[in-house]
Amino acid sequence: RLVREHPVVVFMKGSPAQPLCGFSNAVVQILRLHGVEDYRAHDVLQDPDLRQGIKNYSNWPTIPQVYLNGEFVGGCDILLQMHQNGDLVEELKKLGIRSALLDAEKDQEKK
């Protein structure tokens, strides 16, 4: 249910305002770079059952975990790779989210 409650869902350590591990912070920063402010974040440190349950659900052993449109995308390393190769821009577009990086590129082209 939680992975489908919003188009972008992150299971992380801490909160977007105060990530409690470097990998969770990296995910928050990548989303921020793309201008994704409206997403659901769940702090797995507050609920051990949620922490283990999401690992079992995704069959992925680490936190953070990112879900787009209810589909498991991966953790920090996968999101970083998607950011670097441009796939994240495309995946966000499928959700009706325009990446802020597209606007930043246009601004650079004008200069």
User: What gap in Å lies between CA 17 and CA 21, rounded to an integer?
Assistant: 12
DSSP 6: S
Number of residues written out for the chain: 111
Q: What is the CATH classification number for the domain harbouring 34?
A: 3.40.30.10
Q: Read off the pTM.
A: 0.91
Question: How many domains does the structure of the chain reveal?
Answer: 1
Please state the residue numbers annotated as binding site: 21
What confidence score (pLDDT) does residue 82 get?
97
Q: Which residues are annotated as a binding site for [2Fe-2S] cluster?
A: 21
Give the pLDDT of residue 106. 60
| Structure confidence at residue 103 (pLDDT) | 80
For the cut 70, the answer to whether the pLDDT of residue 111 exceeds it is: no
Q: Do 28 and 79 meet the contact criterion of CB atoms below 8 Å apart?
A: no
pLDDT over threshold 60, residue 16: yes
d(CA 91, CA 69): 10
35 close to 24: Cβ distance less than 8 angstroms? no
Does the pLDDT at position 70 exceed 60? yes
What confidence score (pLDDT) does residue 79 get? Answer: 97
Residue that wins the pLDDT comparison between 88 and 104? 88
Is residue 68 scored above 70 in pLDDT?
Answer: yes
Overall average pLDDT of the 35-50 stretch: 96
In the predicted structure, residue 6 carries a pLDDT above the cut 80: yes
- Domain containing 11 equals 2-110
Q: How far apart are CA 104 and CA 44, in angstroms?
A: 33
Contact 20, 74 (CB under 8 A): no
**Starting at the edge strand that comes first in sequence, how are the strands of the sheet with 71-74 ordered?**
40-43, 8-12, 65-68, 71-74
